[in-house]
Structure 1
Amino acid sequence: MKKSIQFSYEAHYSTSHALSGEESELWLVFHGYGQLAEFFIRKFIPFDNANRLVIAPEATNYHYLSGFQGRVGANWMTKHERELAIANNHRYLDGLMETVLSGFRQPPKIHVLGFSQGAATATRWASQWSEDLSSLVLWAGGFAHDMQVMGAREKFLNTKITVVYGNQDEFLNQESLEKQKEWFEKLHKKPEVITFEGGHELNASVLKRIFDK
């Protein structure tokens, strides 16, 4: 007989600097499969300033990247107990944002960037979150396939959406790009699409282009 309980759980996140409460914008950036927040956020440190706080939540499922020892990475979910992982992610991210936003003197503009597996997690969570997003960046990934269309359409109505991917990304193909195109049609959204010379990676020059807008 399989049963479950809920209990308090400690999770990690990294920030680009200590919250002052005076920042005018907040970027929530989601790492990909097998990454850790403390290393992922380093890509965003060049764009940190007094008015911009970047926060990288870390997924709570951990695994060895190779074999049974060595480097460890985190993932947002696997197929095992998938629905439970989704519910736990939502509670974790809701709680994180409630805690962080309570430190702001004025509500900041909120931006979300999801890389690879983090893109699906970001869209699934953001589509049901209580607050609105100024922008959403889907980098080398896309909308969660089980995202609720009507709720997401309303949630992202006034959200600027940008799609970014490398032209040599081994994890993307024409079929996956077509599926994302179908999602944009369902959501009645036309994204900005940015491509670059490279693979499944964050590109510094494209990041600068996004943050400088």
Structure 2
Amino acid sequence: MKKSISFQFQAQYSVSHEPTFQEKEIWLVLHGYGQLAEFFIRKFQGFDSDDLLFVAPEGTNYGYLNGFSGRVGANWMTKHEREIAIQNNHNYLDLLMESLLSQFQEKPKINLLGFSQGAATATRWASRWSGQVDQLVLWAGGFAQDMVLEDARDKFSDTKLTLVLGDKDEFITPESIEIQQELTKNLGQEVKKLTFAGGHEIDVKMLSKILDSSN
């Protein structure tokens, strides 16, 4: 007979600098499958400033990337106990944002970027978070297929939505593009689509354009 128990859990996250809580914007950036937050946030470090804070939560599931030793990566979920992992992600991100925002006297602009597996995780969380995301960027990924559309339509009604893909991304298939087209159609909102010359990666030039346009 299988049962479950809830307990206090410790999770890791990385920041681009020690927060002053005077920043004008927060970028919550969710890494992809098999990555670690401390390395993922380096992609954004060059854009760090007094007014801009990047926060990279780390998925709480870990595994060796090859075999039984060597490099370790994190992920947001696997097919095993998937629904529990999704709920744990929601609880984790809720608490992290509550902890950060409670220390600001003036609410900062909230931007959310999800890369690869982190894109689906970002849409699931943001579509049911009690707060409001001002800008949502889905990079090398897209809206979660199991996202509740009714919730998403309401939550994202005032959110700037952007999809970013590399033209040589080996993980993007015609089928996945078709699924995203159907999802965005059903969402019924404008979604900006950007393409850069490259693969399954964060392109610095494209990132710079997105960050410039958010100011």
**Which SS does the other structure have where 1:212 is aligned?**
helix
Match of residue 167 from structure 1: 167
Matches within 5 A, 1:1-213: 1-213=1-213
Q: Deviations over 1:163-204 (max 9, x none)?
A: 101001000011111111111111111211111111100000
Q: Deviations over 1:119-176 (max 9, x none)?
A: 0000000000001111100000011111101110000001111110100100001111
**Which SS does the other structure have where 1:114 is aligned?**
strand
1:128 partner amino acid? R
The separation in 1 between residues aligned to 2:187 and 2:159, in whole angstroms, is: 11
Q: List structure 1 runs of 4+ shifted beyond 4 angstroms.
A: none
- How many residue pairs were aligned? 213
Task: Tell me the CA shift for residue 69 of structure 1.
Answer: 0.1
Task: Tell me the CA shift for residue 80 of structure 1.
Answer: 0.2
**Which SS does the other structure have where 1:20 is aligned?**
coil
Query: Gaps (5+ residues) in structure 2?
Result: none
Return the TM-score normalized by structure 2.
0.98
**In percent, how many aligned pairs have the same letter?**
61
Q: Deviations over 1:13-47 (max 9, x none)?
A: 00011111111111000000000000000000111
Task: Tell me the CA shift for residue 105 of structure 1.
Answer: 1.4
Return the TM-score normalized by structure 1.
0.99
1:175 partner amino acid? E
- RMSD over aligned Cα, in angstroms? 0.6
Task: Tell me the CA shift for residue 55 of structure 1.
Answer: 0.2
**Which SS does the other structure have where 1:39 is aligned?**
helix
Query: Gaps (5+ residues) in structure 1?
Result: none
